[in-house]
Structure 1
């Protein structure tokens, strides 16, 4: 696939920057078409003063229309905000009862909505503020949503929702580009009808009607003036749904000359039509005022079509391919063809080639890591065997040595050797040779020391070990420190309150990167005062404990009070340092 893309790129590049497939030539061509109406404006320069007067009148009426429809706009915008917010959190309420209870509480807190519900992708409203589910498949909202999911505002009257006409606000819910349903809010029509008292009487329109993109009427400000008696015969609300506010002059069925100002309240969803008496400025011909609007619409349409067709949709597809590769290392099934420009095809080809190189590099690094892991495990296994062999030789030597002190020294040295062997055994048995489970390691050391000391069932062992992953550089001094301290604790453990000696080992994380190790044992007391601990091996163990604690990065502390002897140390957890030269 990469070779095919590269061949197409080289073929396109041979045509030069201004080839038929070049982005520059296409953008220039479309912008030329978009800017052509500017030249036509010169034809109407002689009517500049007339058009300016007409434009000011138009803007004034549009502003007044938007001001009169502001209450409807604010209510619908707020409903859309609520719908979008509920669309994010409502799927967390799996239980219909809990969902209905939540929506009922929300409605009671605002007292604006008659109903709020979530319609699933099968057309059933299971989660709503109502007491029972509703089948919405026969509604206009569902029919429109199932074809093209989009924000919808419409008027309806259903007894199961409310006893009066309601304005439905619906917002689709999509997940990864898939339609999952929509959130519907029902607002009583009487609560959002634009009140006439918000503006002065001399600045009120004859009639103000709000409607949706299909031309369906939502509110009517003056019910005493039927809309049919004010609109021209060829005036269709469904055709007055552009993104740009407009104002036109026309004759009502009664022959009265009126001005019809249309302004979007909620972009693409709700519009306001204000009907005003014709002013002196609007007595001029209509063409000078409509031409700038037509020019702007044509330029916008052509520019959008050009940018979307040549750039945006291809960039989006390429972005989706990059996200899929970043998520699951999935390359595009095939290279893009058709009308994609040469520049974008070059970008896509470079991306595919780069992605292939990344996959190859990752596979190579993975093989190297796997081989390194196998070699490290083999090294740890052989070191463990050698240490066990040394321990066996020391056992033979102890059996041949008559001096008890020498045997004790060799026994303690043997414990240290076996502690090292335990670390290496843990490393080669672990899935990650670069990390050691400290809890597992300490459990094995405690078990090994308990057997070596011959304590048996007379000793009570208390373990409180948190699973922590440590680097071998810290696991080795940690195990040796624990072995030394545990041997001292076992040899000095005295009967506790229950008559049995005990030893406790605790390992826990205290902060984000700090670990605390504590080894305690029951200590003898005389007349309520703690006795002095008997030192072992002339203080060598204590010196080793201090040295191992320094290697860990934290000092060691000892306390002897209330019949308990405790040794503790705190040290930070080190992170593995990555060196790119290793690979």
Structure 2
């Protein structure tokens, strides 16, 4: 197959993945478009599943955190219940001594609290389980009491209300809209159980912390892990005192990925912070997001394998068979077609049948061409024989003719007939009857003319002939022109200035597809003997020169003569024809 420029088309190089016009790349593109809606749905569902998983993990951690802080919550809630109950009846005890005695007996019965007392609005605890008034105005809890009459939970170190760290729980007392003070309970920190995480090994927290609304730490589950080494930068407990339980991931100062779950224990007063390892808590969003990509890649891999095995492999094999047939005319071998599709089998079958038809047509054409060549050679051989027969008849006639002029004319005519016979002998002896080796033809003509003209012994013949292939339509007038010009040169050669007598014939290819033939002979100082153009001399009164001009016109170029010094030249330049016959005629 040829393209618009006439050159043979070559198969595109490059693998299926890298060729922009390859089948694999196009199938991948269309398959990607086809899978895009499914991929988008998968990405959306994966994102929804991820959000639901995160929400469930968050709720699970919040529930575990609240469960771990249940003992602290129960202790503080019970303390608030006691404070509210005492706030109702403690006003009935007007006598501070009776009030203190009552509270002391209450503590002895419970053995949970380090101190119970009534703090007046002026900051003096006149009724307490210690039997002595206490000035609370210099304590940390009074700082909160003096701000607003709200429930208070705070941590006091020793020497303020007890000899050990205590958690103070204060509940305000109001009567008829009038603030009457606080009921304060001091719970030893050692008596409040620290938050305890779940027993499962894969769900243990890193740290559990309870704190109040001011961000003060009340209890700590793992004293070996300081809180400042676990909280990320910018994490403030005072800001984590909302009414809703929340969870968020972050990175500790040491670079550990953690999850921080905050849940309120006592509304608005006590909160719990659970710090959990991120692994197993929040699933990584990267892996589920890879599922659509992996599905797309797997689909492309399966598609590529299927197309390569079912289509591309067979198409490439068929292409190799076509190229092998185009170069060596070798019929493709019928391979295994068990996994070849019906359509490709039909294409291969059509190609094999077409290749067989081409080989049959080529064989038939070769037979016809061989027969044609044989017939042409036979024609040329018979024409050569007939021309030789005519030459023999002319020889017989010359021997019977007494007139010398007539014999000379018949001899010249015989030379022309023998020149034609030489052309036809060369044609039937050549391998290609459509081409003639012009150099070989001219050598035979020169040899024939030299022998027939009986040149003088001192005459030399010079040949400078280039091997050129010419069509018979050009070889015939070329040989006749050379024969006529050589006959004149042999007849009119004269000694030159050095006394040498010679004749030369040259043929050379020139630029532009031209060929120049030149016949020269030595001559004297004046052009004598070449009277053909003027009508003088022994030869047919200018017939030779007229024939030379006619043969030059048939070749396609006029002849030129030049007498320069002691040399006479006749030359003709003509173009070489490329084709003798039109292939459409056959």
Q: TM-score if structure 2 supplies the norm length?
A: 0.52
Query: Hey, what's the Cα distance between the residues in 2 that align with 1:322 and 1:542?
Result: 59
Q: Show structure 1 runs of 5+ residues with no match.
A: 1-26, 52-250, 258-282
Q: Secondary structure at the match of 2:496?
A: coil
Higher helix share: 1
Residue 563 of structure 1 is aligned with which of 533, 542, 566? 566
Quote the residue 1:515 is aligned against: 515
Counterpart in 2 of 1:223?
Answer: none
Alignment of 1:162-561 (within 5 A): 285-525=285-525, 533-535=530-532, 536-561=539-564
Per-residue deviation at 1:457? 3.6
2:38 maps to which residue?
A: 39
Report the alpha carbon displacement of residue 391 of structure 1 after superposing the two structures with TM: 0.8
How much has 1:298 moved relative to structure 2? 2.0
The one of the two structures with greater contact order (alpha-carbon pairs below 8 A, sep at least 6) is 1
CA 1:456–1:426: 2 relative to 1, 3 Å: farther
Decide whether the 8 Å contact of 1:514 with 1:573 is kept in 2.
yes
Q: CA deviation at 1:48?
A: 6.7
Q: Could you tell me how far apart the structure 1 residues matched to 2:474 and 2:351 are?
A: 43
- Residue 477 of structure 1: CA displacement? 0.6
Please name the residue that 2:69 is paired with: none
Equivalent residues, number:
328
Aligned-partner Cα distance in 2 for 1:383–1:47: 96
Give the aligned partner of residue 235 of structure 1.
none
Structure 2 runs not aligned, ≥5 long:
1-25, 51-250, 258-282, 533-538
Partner Cα distance (1:571, 1:311) in 2: 58
Report if the CA contact (8 A) 1:492-1:534 is conserved. Answer: no
Alignment match, 2:180: none
2: CA distance between counterparts of 1:302 and 1:391? 86
Q: Aligned in 2, Cα 1:320/1:457: closer, same or farther, shift over 3 Å?
A: farther
Contact kept? 2:502, 2:522, Cα under 8 Å? yes
Superimposed CA distance per residue, residues 140-197 of structure 1 (whole angstroms, 9 cap, x where no aligned partner)? xxxxxxxxxxxxxxxxxxxxxxxxxxxxxxxxxxxxxxxxxxxxxxxxxxxxxxxxxx
* Contact 1:34/1:299 (<8 A) preserved: no
Native 8 Å contact 1:37 1:295 kept in 2: no
Distance 1:393 1:357 in 2: 53
SS of residue matched to 1:525: coil
Change (3 A) 1:301 1:405: same
Q: CA, structure 1 residues 414+286, in 2 after alignment: closer, same or farther (shift >3 Å)?
A: same
Q: 1:561 to 1:427 in 2, by over 3 A?
A: same
- Structure 2: distance between partners of 1:50 and 1:538: 117
Distance (Å, rounded) in 2 between the aligned partners of 1:447 and 1:352:
56
Whether contact under 8 Å (2:488, 2:530) holds in the other structure is: no
Q: How many Å separate the matches in 2 of 1:572 and 1:336?
A: 57
Give, in whole Å, the separation in 2 of the partners of 1:514 and 1:357: 42
Whole-Å Cα distance in 1 between the matches of residues 452 and 31 of structure 2?
A: 92
CA contact (8 A) 2:39 2:296 kept: no
CA distance in 1, matches of 2:329, 2:428: 31
TM-score by length of 1: 0.52
